[in-house]
Structure 1
Amino acid sequence: MYVCITYEQLKQKVSKGARIRWCGQAKGGRIVVQIFKGDISSFFQVEVDELVANWKSYGVLRNGGARKPLADVGYVPSKTDSFVTYRNATVLGINISGDCTIESVRSQAELVSAFMDQIIAHQPLWLVGWNCYAFDNTCLSYNAISTDYTAYFRKVKISTASVVDYGYIMDIPGVYNVDPLIYMQRSPPLMKKYNKDFSLYGVAKKLGVTAKTEMPDLYADLKPLEILDYNMNDALIPVEIWLKTGLVQEIPSLALTSCCHVYDCCRYMTSVTARCPLSAEAMAIGMRIDWSECEPVLEYRGGKVLEPVRGVHKDVVVCDFSSMYPTIMIDANISPETLDVLDADDHEYGDVWYDSTYTYVRAESSVARFPRVGDNMIRRLLLKYVKLRAAHKRDNPTYAGTLKVVANSIYGSTGHENSPMYSPLCAIATTAIGRWCLDLACKTFEDYGMRIVYGDTDSCMAKGTYVTQSAYGGDAVAHAKHILVKLKERLNDTPFSGMNTELEEFRERMVLLDKKKYCYVSEKGTVEYKAIPSLAMYQMSYHDVLKETFLPVMYLW
């Protein structure tokens, strides 16, 4: 049992630099709170009634789509479910344990009961399975006849980028049931790395872990030991994948960074990994959040994709804005609590302008206005993530990567209509400023003598001209670096002075076919492709078409 402290004692701990993580729902009139300060963490209890009675608002994070937001709103509908949105404290250690024995049972229900009893008895911290949410756990839940066992299964959404589906998580206290497949199918870097082949056989082969054995012939006489060996192999490989891919560090890191439950991180639920840190930040400073729906739902344009200069190009430089959307939200002071909604004017949709006091963005039927001076909750949180990521990018890339995911998901939560943090005008303003910055970058490159051949959201690709030859001896990289200095000077005269553009890569040869469709020779001499999966229906893959048609041209040109 944890020590019960008063609200004032809790407030004092926070004022001295401690961070709060709320653990689960209120029970017996009390809520458990975990306090972090440096590397030390401790647990306490707080009376819910005292907490609600003493809650003083420092300000209101309001519904950003409303014309006249309420001056003061409740942060939750009622006391009883007040902490339902604040997830359980996540793990602070790593351990995989458990013995292997063989038992005989008479029925599937008895098998499920024996299996569950073993898990409850051993309590392994990580219970790992491949596609276990959709298949194994669904089968277990179906055959778990006793309510003593069915209570441990929780139905959850396990959607991928293209399919909406549901499955079951085994929710046993002290045990984290993880499915590496679900995370890998939703993580853009992992999708790219594995080329969307997430069969257990394919991933195991690519990683070089234990090879997947062939399934026994189910139409022949079944041999129990063959089935056992096959299932043990199927159980071993996901654990090896979990360890070798580094997900054993990445998913807990994401959970700790976002104050979000491991289950939500494993399912790559970015809307949850956005609202949980915002919720924790708001509660830590006593800010109330309006969780009501935002109407009307507004559509907004995403990043700008330029029309490519089709053909073969040589000596192409690729320049990227670092952390574009989080930096825009920081620089422009974008947050639902700082937003003012003005009547529409003569500007066109997406126009961006500013004066000494405000930044303005034209939406469909209104103008979003943000003060250039001041602070807000989202800005403080993003600044923290950006600084931490910069500090740990080299020494702890896993941690830096999860910080980037959480920071980017905060922007995404403002534009997703089903998110409690939905604020369409904030999303419209963020992407509009992103397009404005890309246009400024392209114009600066053109003004100083390089030719833009393509641009996409936060990056632009440029190649040298006669200016490169005459002033830089044909060195496109040196020319681009000079232009990036000039671009920074221009950005410094705008509200977006925090925007930084880096030279990401030099491409010796490049073939541009269409938007988001190209191939190039990298600095390492490898050929990289950016294509669309729908062309896989042809007998010759898109990559083969590029290889046989364009690579000779790239090298001979």
Structure 2
Amino acid sequence: MPASAFTTVKGRILTRQTLAAADGMCLRYCLKTESGPLTVDVPGESQVAFIPQLAVAAVVRRFPAVGYRYLPLQDFQQQPMAAIYCHSRKQFRELQRWNREHHIALHEAEIRPHQRYLIERFIALDAEFQGYFATDKPTHFIASKARAVMLNKDVALRVVSLDVECSLSGELYSVGLYGEDEQGLPLRKVIMVGPELEGEDWIDWVADEKQLLVSLVAWFAAWQPDIMLGWSVVTFDLALLWKRFALYQIPAALGRNGALLEWLVADKFRPETLQLPGIVVLDGIDWLKAAFYKFDRYSLEHVSQQLLGEGKEIHDVNNRGEEITRLFQQDKLALARYNLSDCRLVWQIFAKTHLLPFAIARAQLTGLELGRVGASVAAFNNLYLPHLHRAGYVAPANPVSDGLESPGGYVMDSIPGLYRDILVLDFKSLYPSIIRTFLIDPLGMILGLQQELNETVDGYRGARFSRTNHILPQLVAKLAQAREQAKKQQDAPLSQAIKIIMNSLYGVLGSRGCVFHDARLASSITMRGHWIMQTTKAWIEEQGYKVIYGDTDSTFVWLGDHHGIDDPVAFGHQLAADISDQWRDYIKQTFALESALELEFDSHYQHFLMPTLRGSTEGSKKRYVGAVRGEDGKLAMIFKGMEQVRSDWSPIAKRIQYELYQRLFNDLDVAEYLAEQAELLQQGKLDDELVFTKQLRRAVNDYQSNAPHVKVAQLLVSAFNDASYGKRGQRVEYVITVNGPEPIELRRSAIDYRYYLDKQIKPIAEPVLSILQTSFESLVLKQMTLI
């Protein structure tokens, strides 16, 4: 291929892939640069893994075309290692299979070539490549070297929100597109099947579904988006588009320079199998969960109502499939507005929650592909492996411990009761702080077990960690410093991304999916956490205060009925600082280490209830209710682990529970209120609050249980002869009747009010009534006539 002069290019890596080529493997990176899109190829690469040097002769004898190289590296058993180079995926798969059969360990085989090339050079998201432009393709660059860079300014990205409308059988009606270009200029587009109608200049009318697909390809070629947003956009919209392209035998050329929309595994339409070169696809549901947003349900209607205060532009949201078909047949302009509105809602949800900056920050920190959710093990490998190699080691081929064998977080037995003035003190990033303080590290443990005792720090279950040779503590310290800087700069997405990554490090070491998993490592974190929490409790109680509960990194301190503290919040801050200082001194004197432990004041509950376990006098765990004074001077209720925060309880239970605690904490009557609600229930005046709403997490035929919502879905499928009522993700609404659960659409039996009293209201009332030393039966059931 003709070439131009040798030069350098810088940009943000959007997508990455490994392609087969005549001279080995070609690594392809689609970048966005200051001057626009650019495709970078790194030719002549191989799939790399490591084997013991003693096994090289046998491997090369069986695979003479495989390259190898002896390296100054060793495994965790101190065996000298060699690198093995395969020039095709087929060759590498055959090598893997043969090695397994002959019990030859193959180390780091899971690292893909396009990923290894970057992480060995500490490249996460932004890179500089050296090479030359292909003279016949000005947006194509051939690279021979690369390095990590910090771009002078953020790269402007073209972002589009996409939504597809279709019939119940999957026939396309329209595709909506909403977004902005790099200069902030708006994009509003709907490609709609049908004869042209006047009214909206942002609608492109096409003759049929085939022409819609052709027009969509043309739009992508012209506009060249970098980021695609959507709601179930991978599993529904892109999957459906791919199927319709295949039906009409039209190339699904939606990617960079006409690259095809493809799936790495046939008929598995999942984010991890999607391949769309040059376009990062971000699904709103996945990224809200990744950023730890929690909703009762993740429908676009529900989430947009919660976050934006508005919903879909359609009359019958619960039967939107039929409504969409009706609009397509009778009011295409209304359907176009609805289609565009769905795109806009997704765009605004991303803007409201800063999900795009969060995704970018996460990729910059971990080296994961921009747009990849989950993958905490891969993130750990990206961060850890280049440092491990420079220390002279390769990763283990398999985890030492098979399964999670370390204990979980510390949970103290609670002291149940009704309290005033509870302070909650939290250790800031406890597990990462333990890793930093006590030098917990995979390599550090391997080396520490070979060193003298005075050169190591004791862990648990026989672990010892080197005081001088370790990797993970420095990585955590670097992340912690970056988080503090993000907080100072009020960069919330970056701060949240760092927090999640730091807290995932323990989980990775405790997971059988990680080759570094060793019960000694994970236990040295969690068991040290137990000791820290227990010691903190003892130190606080030495000062005359009572610790009534502790959970993982949180300590609940009761100041006492006659504490004489004028400002509990100020006192809480001071107490946390004093305990942090005490830990700093203790760790310095006892271990000769610098403490990274920091106890922080979290909240002051003016009123607090720690309930008992049902049917027991023992205190509950991970369940409590408290009231904090807000800035407006009003009491705000905080429910933890209670029915109030669970989606499988009826609206009446949640409302009554909330009111009960409001009354309890404000010294208002509880008994009269409960009796009144029971009477209204029996009179049928609260029927609207008795409806359960549940989502099928799998297709109804895949359930083994006879749960109420499963029975209801089966009734709906049978009654309407419509399998869609039983599909995965379908929401069912039902009430409990004297003849069991019945869907609200088909209810014929009387509501079982006794069920709601016994199974819904009584359980949420009992914690309050036990404090008042009375019972539900004495207040309510004796006043009711039998139903």
TM-score, normalised relative to structure 2? 0.56
Aligned partners of 1:317 and 1:506 also within 8 Å = yes
Aligned partners of 1:330 and 1:379 also within 8 Å = yes
What per-residue deviation string (whole Å, max 9, x for no partner) do you get for residues 425-482 of structure 1? 2112111111111111111111221110111111111112489449999985355654
Q: Could you say which residue in structure 1 is the equivalent of 2:480?
A: 386
CA distance in 2, matches of 1:2, 1:447: 75
What is the 5 A alignment of 1:2-401?
Answer: 24-25=17-18, 28=23, 48=45, 62=76, 69-73=77-81, 78=86, 83-86=113-116, 90=125, 92-96=155-159, 97=181, 100=189, 101-107=203-209, 111-145=212-246, 146=249, 148-149=251-252, 151-154=260-263, 166=270, 171-188=275-292, 190-191=293-294, 195-208=295-308, 211-214=311-314, 215=320, 216=323, 218=325, 221-264=329-372, 267-282=373-388, 285=390, 288-290=393-395, 292-298=397-403, 299-340=405-446, 356-363=454-461, 367-371=462-466, 373-395=467-489, 396-401=491-496
Q: Could you say which residue in structure 1 is the equivalent of 2:605?
A: 507
What per-residue deviation string (whole Å, max 9, x for no partner) do you get for residues 261-309 of structure 1? 1121xx23333333222245446x4754325222440422110111111
CA apart distance, 1:112: 3.8
Aligned partners of 1:213 and 1:230 also within 8 Å = yes
CA distance in 2, matches of 1:57, 1:21: 33
Q: Classify 1:106/1:467 alpha carbon distance in 2 versus 1 (closer, same or farther; 3 Å).
A: closer
Count of paired positions: 503
CA distance in 1, matches of 2:84, 2:402: 22
CA distance in 2, matches of 1:279, 1:244: 36
CA apart distance, 1:198: 2.1
Amino acid aligned to 2:510:
G
Aligned-pair Cα RMSD in Å? 4.2
Amino acid aligned to 1:196:
D
Amino acid aligned to 2:484:
A
SS at structure 1 position matched to 2:399: coil
CA apart distance, 1:337: 0.9
**Structure 2 unmatched ranges of 5 or more:** 8-12, 30-37, 50-66, 90-111, 119-123, 127-154, 160-180, 182-186, 190-202, 254-259, 315-319, 612-619, 669-787
CA distance in 2, matches of 1:416, 1:253: 24
CA distance in 2, matches of 1:411, 1:4: 45
CA apart distance, 1:403: 1.4
Task: Give the stretch that moved more between structures: 492-501 or 148-157.
Answer: 148-157
Task: Give the stretch that moved more between structures: 448-457 or 500-509.
Answer: 500-509
CA distance in 2, matches of 1:551, 1:252: 42
Amino acid aligned to 1:149:
A
CA apart distance, 1:114: 3.8
Aligned partners of 2:448 and 2:456 also within 8 Å = no
SS at structure 1 position matched to 2:666: helix
CA distance in 1, matches of 2:156, 2:70: 35
2:518 is matched with which residue: 423, 433, 448?
Answer: 423
2:535 is matched with which residue: 440, 460, 480?
Answer: 440
CA distance in 1, matches of 2:483, 2:551: 24
CA apart distance, 1:168: 7.1
CA apart distance, 1:70: 4.0
SS at structure 1 position matched to 2:228: strand
CA apart distance, 1:362: 3.8
Amino acid aligned to 1:319:
L
Q: Could you say which residue in structure 2 is the equivalent of 1:486?
A: 582
Q: Classify 1:487/1:335 alpha carbon distance in 2 versus 1 (closer, same or farther; 3 Å).
A: closer
Amino acid aligned to 1:207:
L
Q: Classify 1:491/1:319 alpha carbon distance in 2 versus 1 (closer, same or farther; 3 Å).
A: farther
Q: Classify 1:389/1:120 alpha carbon distance in 2 versus 1 (closer, same or farther; 3 Å).
A: same
Task: Give the stretch that moved more between structures: 319-328 or 416-425.
Answer: 416-425
Aligned partners of 2:447 and 2:469 also within 8 Å = no
1:531 is matched with which residue: 634, 641, 644?
Answer: 641
Q: Classify 1:232/1:310 alpha carbon distance in 2 versus 1 (closer, same or farther; 3 Å).
A: same
Q: Classify 1:90/1:479 alpha carbon distance in 2 versus 1 (closer, same or farther; 3 Å).
A: closer
Amino acid aligned to 2:598:
N
Amino acid aligned to 1:152:
L
Amino acid aligned to 1:489:
D
Q: Classify 1:22/1:124 alpha carbon distance in 2 versus 1 (closer, same or farther; 3 Å).
A: closer
The structure that has the greater radius of gyration is: 2
1:552 is matched with which residue: 663, 672, 682?
Answer: 663
CA apart distance, 1:340: 4.1
Q: Indicate whether 1:452 and 2:547 are aligned.
A: yes
CA apart distance, 1:253: 1.0
Amino acid aligned to 1:94:
L
CA distance in 2, matches of 1:531, 1:166: 32
Task: Give the stretch that moved more between structures: 436-445 or 495-504.
Answer: 495-504
CA distance in 2, matches of 1:542, 1:307: 27
Task: Give the stretch that moved more between structures: 388-397 or 430-439.
Answer: 388-397
Aligned partners of 1:57 and 1:286 also within 8 Å = no
CA distance in 2, matches of 1:44, 1:3: 16
CA apart distance, 1:357: 3.8
SS at structure 2 position matched to 1:526: strand
Aligned partners of 2:409 and 2:529 also within 8 Å = yes
State the structure with bigger RCO (CA 8 A, min sep 6), 1 or 2: 1
What per-residue deviation string (whole Å, max 9, x for no partner) do you get for residues 189-220 of structure 1? x11xxx33322112222222663111436368
TM-score, normalised relative to structure 1? 0.77
CA distance in 2, matches of 1:523, 1:156: 54
Task: Give the stretch that moved more between structures: 90-99 or 288-297.
Answer: 90-99
SS at structure 1 position matched to 2:113: coil
CA distance in 2, matches of 1:516, 1:170: 39
What is the 5 A alignment of 1:516-527?
Answer: 516-524=622-630, 525-527=635-637
Q: Could you say which residue in structure 1 is the equivalent of 2:97?
A: none
**Structure 1 unmatched ranges of 5 or more:** 6-19, 35-41, 63-68, 158-163, 344-353
Q: Could you say which residue in structure 2 is the equivalent of 1:9?
A: none
Q: Classify 1:537/1:24 alpha carbon distance in 2 versus 1 (closer, same or farther; 3 Å).
A: closer
